[in-house]
Chains A and B, each alone.
Chain A
Amino acid sequence: MIAAAGTLARPHRLALGIAAGLLALWAASFALLLHAAALPPARSGTVLVLFPPRFGAIEAFAAIAAADGTPVRATWLPNFVLADGPDPGFVGRLRAAGALAAYSPFDLGPALVDGCTGLPPER
């Protein structure tokens, strides 16, 4: 109990440490997952493109055009853009134009959280 009292003398520090640790672990796992999920350069079609954070919408759209693609729509993150390029090698051209990676399209948004009931709300 004395050891427990000492350890929990600063409970908020422990809580912050646990939260930071879990977040760090998650960030590393998510980064690995994003790396593994990146499409190969030969891929074409509709893809979700990740640009560097410094890219705004204009730079992203210009890069897509340079890769012989068409912007489909922006997302709530300015450096994540849905684009379409029918010619083979579209992803490779996107990366040459400055994209970090491209992925199969998925909904990127805050509406991922369905809460503790697990029941999917109508969208």
Chain B
Amino acid sequence: MPSAPLARALVVVIVAGCAFNLFSFGIRSGFGLFLAPMSAAHGWGREVFSFASAIQNLLWGVGVPFAAAVADRWGSGRVLAFGAVLYGLGVALMPLATEPWMLAATMGVLVGFGLSCASFSIVLSAIGRAVPPERRTWAFGLGTAAGSMGQFLIAPIEQVLLGALGWVDALVAIGAMALVMVPLAGILRGRPAAATGMQQSLGQALREAGAHASYWYLVAGFFVCGFHVAFILTHLPPYLKDIGVPSWVAGWSLALVGLFNIVGSYTAGVLGGTRSKKWLLSGIYLGRAVVITVFVLTPPSTVSVLAFAAAMGLLWLSTVPLTSGLVAVMFGPRYMATLFGIVFLSHQVGAFLGVWLGGRIYDVTGSYDLLWWFGVALGVFAALIHLPIAERSARLAPAAT
């Protein structure tokens, strides 16, 4: 019985998926390093770079469902490889951007669409096909944790490249580094097989999900995740500056979020295999609401900030394996990439609003207080919206819950 080759193939797929996510997440985590040198070279204000980043995030979110649909239909390897090339090309062409619109076109549009095709939604779907159903959520947690590791491991490489080569050559080198994902995409090739005895088209899958209330509860919940994550990442450092916390704490706080996120993502994946995913998600969002409340009400100090960061880190992308796991439970692996891609689009809309509203309301009120309490309210909303989710195959449950 050829069990050893099959086992090796399974491990290779999981390793390839983890490595792909590591690069995909990691490369873009260092883009902020290039804000200062690029802006200085061209005399741009901060808004030019930030706008290109915002375009990137929006197109990443908008593009994922379509890229995932192509992957579900034609195979994930080609889509992931195409995404890796587009991603690398976008980065490598950034030095040629002498006008703001050119930066928006390269870093924004090319990288954004590259990210959507090299999306973790497609990677998780490819990993999910390879593992038994009872290990799927664990595998999703592992893949997500690997992406989080990428944010720690790739950014220092980019920093050294920036120092050694200057920003122009460093960006070209980083663009070339993205091509490492192409052979990994080859290992993640394949498309979901149709379920035995049941043929379903993409349109039918979309209609099935659209008619399932639990799916929309998941979409609403993941919107909150995007809002929280983007708001905190973008506005925590200036908030800390406003409340008089030393500047070095801001850097360490974001790093702690990332570090504890590795633990949180993997743990959520492990727990999601044996516990109710919707209750875990509800607990995570309620936990966020509690952590934010305690943080806002506690007199600011280095300890309170770092404790907040560690706690939020545990509750950060731990939502990903559980949310994607629920999509797989409800609708199976056949069109998981597409359906989770739509959920992820909601996440990115939330992220866009989290960043934009954070700045807008701060400009109007002179404070982040309103946003923090809005974040608490959203956390409670998300905790409640997950509870009525029917955590079983949609084909066993009534269409409307």
Contacts and interface: CB of A to CB of B under 8 A. Distances in A.
A106 B351 contact: no
B254 interface: yes
A58 interface: no
B237 A118 contact: no
Nearest to A12: B270
A16 B31 CA distance: 29
Interface stretch (B161-169, B296-304, B388-396): B161-169
B15 interface: yes
A26 B254 contact: no
Contacts of A34: 160
B4 A3 contact: yes
B152 interface: yes
Contact of A108 (B31, B159, B238): B159
Interface string A1-40: 1111111100110110011011100100110011011000
Contacts of A104: 163-164
A119 B18 contact: no
B159 A107 contact: yes
Given A8-B135, A112-B155, A117-B355, A18 B7 contact: no
Interface centre among B145, B157, B233 (most CB of A within 10 A): B233
Contact of B53 (A12, A21, A76, A120): A120
A7 B5 CA distance: 11
A7 B236 CA distance: 42
A4 B131 contact: yes
B253 to A, nearest CB: 9
Nearest to A34: B160
A118 B57 contact: yes
Contacts of B6: 3-4
A38 B36 CA distance: 23
Contacts of A7: 7, 10-11
Interface residues of B, number: 74
Interface in B138-163: 138, 142, 145-147, 149, 151-153, 155-163
B146 A22 contact: yes
Chain A, interface size: which category?
35 or more
B401 interface: no
B293 interface: no
A113 B254 contact: yes
Contacts of A116: 25, 29, 147, 151, 229, 233, 317
Interface centre among A2, A19, A118, A119 (most CB of B within 10 A): A118
B114 interface: no
A41 to B, nearest CB: 16
A48 to B, nearest CB: 7
Contacts of A23: 149, 153
Contact of A6 (B3, B237, B252, B255): B3
A104 B167 CA distance: 12
Nearest to A2: B3
Contact of B149 (A12, A19, A115): A19
B233 A117 contact: yes
Contacts of B250: 111, 121, 123
Interface string B125-140: 0000011100100100
B302 to A, nearest CB: 14
A106 B163 CA distance: 5
B82 to A, nearest CB: 20
A112 to B, nearest CB: 4
Nearest to A26: B153
Contacts of B160: 30, 33-34, 37, 103, 106
Given A8-B132, A110-B252, A113-B254, 4 more contacts: A18-B14, A18-B146, A111-B255, A122-B238
29 contacts: A1-B132, A3-B2, A8-B131, A8-B135, A11-B135, A11-B142, A15-B266, A18-B18, A22-B19, A33-B157, A76-B248, A104-B163, A107-B33, A111-B250, A111-B255, A112-B33, A113-B257, A114-B29, A114-B254, A116-B151, A118-B53, A119-B50, A119-B53, A119-B230, A121-B235, A121-B250, A121-B254, A122-B238, A123-B251
Interface of A: 1-8, 11-12, 14-15, 18-19, 21-23, 26, 29-30, 33-34, 36-37, 48, 76, 103-123
